[in-house]
């Protein structure tokens, strides 16, 4: 086994270290906030529900560091004789289902977590509800909470939607409040600890919304730079729940002609348009030999620049490609008419007032899987998730729209590229996009639709080299995983409305 290190609830800024031996209660491990106020949580809901659920519907599967070079490991178990296997949760003892069962009843606990990625775009992963003291806990891959691209930052606008299907939220939307991971993952990005537990607020459903059309212009200030406008936009979004708007350009002059150029540089314009703005005619250019002429009526922002060209560059008298060419004193010249725009910015938008209804805690609505740890390698498990995308050979096997399952026995694996030496592998054709965070359930009851979570998919692999994904991998859940779970499950989240 790897050394026992301090655990962290860190996702951004990591948790304060605490000397925790496995297994441990981790009573002193704090949480990292995702949306720590009701106001912030409402803004997250607005982000996904506003503008006809555009972000929710258009989100794409998260595929960061998904396809791995997975290698088999000969050792049979990552645990010692003193590491006793155990389970936690309310699932209770039950008769486990097998792949031979005629019909597999899919768990209601499974769903998708949505968030904004490092690219600023909406994405999703697979995740599951797990049992906790306050029935408010979600388990997924660490990748789906912690942003390894920008390093030590949480993914924004984090929300869990169990049973999600094409914009429908049958059991509500659950905004993430606090997040917990192992410090080996947040500090060292250790793939053996690529898991996370997140507490969520009570679920909400949107009963309706109203748009305040009177406030079509929510900010009348004029900004001299786009950076100033972007800062004002960000400030407004933090102060106004449901504000939806954009930055628009305001020309710095009120004359006819081209407008709203996002530049303060001299910009060439066509002679035809330019002549509408000035009293400089095409004939005037022929009187010039070199230099610039500026229109006295319009000032320094408009003019014509004349430069000498070679005989080879000279296309003949007249207008060519927006410039005027002429000859004078046995020389060849090009006249370019230009205008310099001073662009300013405003904010335009409206307020959307969401009418939200509290639907209760996550566990009360969909139940919660238990937790299993220190289980033997070779244990049979079901894997549930939303795989999406293609195999390396281009075969588009999964759409990501519906929940899928796979079944098999775990084996020991490693993925050196993500510093993972103690992974579990499972033979599966799940492709990587969307399957991050898929739940590995031990002793899954087909009748109760419950079992014990003993892993979450952190990557996939083509281990045979035939351009087909054939293996999924998960961190091995041990006593340290249990400590992170215990640090999370005892925290109450409360309601948004």
CATH 2.40.10.10 assigned to domain 32-202+361-489? The reply is: yes
Q: Could you read off the pLDDT of 152-186 as tens digits, one per residue? A: 578 899 999 999 988 899 999 999 999 999 988 88
Question: Which residues are registered as beta bridge partners of 179?
Answer: 32, 198
Determine which of 136-140, 171-175, 329-333, 469-473 has the lowest per-residue pLDDT on average: 329-333
Model confidence, pTM: 0.73
Q: Of 130, 123, 129, whose CA–CA distance to 157 is shortest?
A: 123
Tokens of 362: 């996550």
Q: Which helix (H) or strand (E) holds 41?
A: helix 38-58
Asked whether 204 and 356 are in contact (CB, 8 A), the reply is yes
CA pair distance 349, 216, nearest whole angstrom: 5
CA pair distance 186, 147, nearest whole angstrom: 9
CA pair distance 206, 229, nearest whole angstrom: 31
CA pair distance 446, 95, nearest whole angstrom: 8
Asked whether 66 and 459 are in contact (CB, 8 A), the reply is yes
Q: What is the three-class DSSP state of 37? A: coil
Asked whether 7 and 182 are in contact (CB, 8 A), the reply is yes
Specify the higher pLDDT residue, 337 or 233. Answer: 233
Q: Could you read off the pLDDT of 24-59 as tens digits, one per residue? A: 444 434 468 899 888 889 889 988 987 668 889 999
Band the pLDDT of 263: cuts 50, 70, 90. Answer: very low
The residue extents of the domains of the chain are 32-202+361-489, 210-252+344-352, 270-340
């Amino acid at each position: 086994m790897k050394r026992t290190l301090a655990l962290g609830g860190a996702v951004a800024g990591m948790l304060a270290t605490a000397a925790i031996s496995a297994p441990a209660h981790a009573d002193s491990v704090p949480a990292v906030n995702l949306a720590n106020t009701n106001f912030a949580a409402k803004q997250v809901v607005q982000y996904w529900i506003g503008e006809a659920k555009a972000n929710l519907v258009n989100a794409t599967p998260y595929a960061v560091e998904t396809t791995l070079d997975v290698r088999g490991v000969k050792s049979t178990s990552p645990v010692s004789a003193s590491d006793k296997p155990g389970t936690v949760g309310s699932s209770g003892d039950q008769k486990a289902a097998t792949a031979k069962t005629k019909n597999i009843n899919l768990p209601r606990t499974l769903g998708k977590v949505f968030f904004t990625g490092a690219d600023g775009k909406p994405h999703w992963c697979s995740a599951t509800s797990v049992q906790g003291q306050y029935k408010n806990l979600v388990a997924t891959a660490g990748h789906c909470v912690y942003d390894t691209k920008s390093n030590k930052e949480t993914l924004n606008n984090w929300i869990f939607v169990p049973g999600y299907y094409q914009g429908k939220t049958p059991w509500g939307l659950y905004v993430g409040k606090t997040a917990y991971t192992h410090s080996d993952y947040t500090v060292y990005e250790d793939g053996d600890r690529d898991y996370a537990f997140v507490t969520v607020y009570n679920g909400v459903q949107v009963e309706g919304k109203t748009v305040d059309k009177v406030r079509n212009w929510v900010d009348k200030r004029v900004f001299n730079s786009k950076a100033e406008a972007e800062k004002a936009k960000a400030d407004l979004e933090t102060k106004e729940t449901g504000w939806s708007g954009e930055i628009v350009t305001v020309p710095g002059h009120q004359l006819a002609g081209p407008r709203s150029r996002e530049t303060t540089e001299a910009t060439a314009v066509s002679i035809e348009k330019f002549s509408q703005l000035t009293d400089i005619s095409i004939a005037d250019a022929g009187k010039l030999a070199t230099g610039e002429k500026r229109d006295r009526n319009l000032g320094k922002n408009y003019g014509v620049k004349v430069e000498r060209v070679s005989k080879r560059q000279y296309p003949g008298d007249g207008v060519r490609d927006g410039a005027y060419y002429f000859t004078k004193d046995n020389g060849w010249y090009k006249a370019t008419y230009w205008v310099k725009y001073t662009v300013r910015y405003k904010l335009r938008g409206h307020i959307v007032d969401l009418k939200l209804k509290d639907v209760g805690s996550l566990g009360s609505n969909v139940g919660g899987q238990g937790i299993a740890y220190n289980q033997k390698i070779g244990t049979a498990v079901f894997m549930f998730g939303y795989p999406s995308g293609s195999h390396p050979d281009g075969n588009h096997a999964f759409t990501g729209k519906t929940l899928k399952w796979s079944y098999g026995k775990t084996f020991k694996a490693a993925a050196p590229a993500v510093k993972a030496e103690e992974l579990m592998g499972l033979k599966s054709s799940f492709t990587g996009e969307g399957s991050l965070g898929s739940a590995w359930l031990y002793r899954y009851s087909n009748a109760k639709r419950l079992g014990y979570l003993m892993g979450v998919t952190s990557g996939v692999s083509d281990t045979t080299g035939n351009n087909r994904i054939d293996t999924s991998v998960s961190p091995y859940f041990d006593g340290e995983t249990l400590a992170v779970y215990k640090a999370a499950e005892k925290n109450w989240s409360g309601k948004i409305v």
